[in-house]
């Protein structure tokens, strides 16, 4: 997977009294260069141009710093999904498709954040703020699934949670495939958005939808 797209951190940020933000920017830059597991806490300090002890003023350890990066990513992600959902307009299925497209767009536009959110080992269980942000993002997919499920007749109505999880799995899998070097080497003969749209249509048809 390619993690690059984030701009290098401002080397003067720490000297301007904003060490916390400088560390966040540095982590995103390091993810872009080395992936989420390719650097240590000491590497973050070194890249930010501060002493090894300086990051501890704001984060107890590397995990806490990565959790904050992931939290910020989920906050942005949730905002994008909310905008795409647009309260279910013009109709639930079209709005769900828009959520899927927003998922792909975020992964493509913010690969460093995306990697911190899903591949950096940050535990939402240990960080309530991260858990809340992740839940907010998934909540948008859950609302989309509830609206789509409600369009099915009562006896045939699929569980909304199942639909939400399937939507998440489809979007996440397609995003990972298209961001990976292996996927690019295979020359997939359609765009990520086209593949997702087809997957959703097949899925909804399989549930008995029109």
Domain boundaries, the chain: 67-206
CB proximity list for 123: less than 8 A, separation 6 or greater: 63, 67, 130
Whether residue 33 has pLDDT greater than 70: yes
Rounded-to-integer distance, Cα 18 and Cα 39, Å: 22
Whether residue 1 has pLDDT greater than 50: no
pLDDT range class, residue 16, cuts 50, 70, 90: very low
CB proximity list for 57: less than 8 A, separation 6 or greater: 19
Full-model pTM: 0.87
More confident site: 12 or 104: 104
Residue-wise pLDDT for 52-64, tens only, equals 999 999 999 999 9
Residue-wise pLDDT for 170-186, tens only, equals 999 999 988 876 555 56
Whether residue 22 has pLDDT greater than 80: yes
Q: Which backbone phi and psi does 8 adopt, to 5 degrees?
A: -60, 150
Q: Say how many C-beta atoms besides its own lie within 10 A of residue 209's C-beta.
A: 15
Find, among 177, 181, 171, 116, the residue nearest to 141 by Cα: 171
pLDDT at 130: 95
Class of domain 67-206: mainly alpha
Residue-wise pLDDT for 156-173, tens only, equals 899 999 999 999 999 999
Find, among 77, 93, 105, 106, the residue nearest to 200 by Cα: 93
Q: Which backbone phi and psi does 52 adopt, to 5 degrees?
A: -60, -25
Rounded-to-integer distance, Cα 114 and Cα 108, Å: 9
Q: Which DSSP symbol is given to 96?
A: H
pLDDT at 58: 93
Taking phi first (over 0 means left), then psi (-120 to 50 degrees means alpha), and beta for anything else, what does residue 61 get? beta
Q: H or E segment at 30?
A: helix 19-34
- Chain-wide mean pLDDT for the chain? 88
């Amino acid at each position: 997977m390619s993690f690059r797209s984030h701009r290098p951190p401002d080397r003067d940020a720490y000297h301007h009294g904003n060490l916390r933000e400088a560390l966040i920017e540095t982590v995103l830059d390091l993810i872009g260069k080395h992936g989420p597991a390719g650097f240590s806490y000491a590497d973050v300090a070194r890249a930010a141009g501060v002493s090894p002890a300086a990051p501890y003023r704001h984060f107890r350890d590397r995990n806490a710093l990565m959790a904050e990066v992931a939290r910020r990513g989920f906050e942005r992600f949730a905002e994008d999904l909310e905008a795409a959902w647009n309260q279910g307009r013009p109709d639930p299925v079209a709005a769900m498709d828009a959520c899927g497209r927003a998922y792909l767009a975020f992964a493509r536009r913010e690969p460093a954040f995306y990697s911190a959110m899903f591949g950096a080992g940050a535990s939402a269980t240990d960080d309530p703020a991260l858990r809340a942000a992740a839940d907010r993002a998934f909540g948008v997919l859950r609302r989309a699934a509830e609206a789509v499920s409600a369009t099915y007749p009562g006896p045939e109505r699929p569980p909304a949670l199942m639909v939400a999880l399937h939507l998440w799995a489809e979007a996440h899998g397609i995003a990972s495939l298209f961001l990976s070097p292996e996927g690019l080497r295979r020359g997939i003969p359609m765009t990520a958005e086209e593949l997702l749209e087809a997957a959703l249509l097949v899925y909804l048809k399989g549930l008995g939808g029109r």
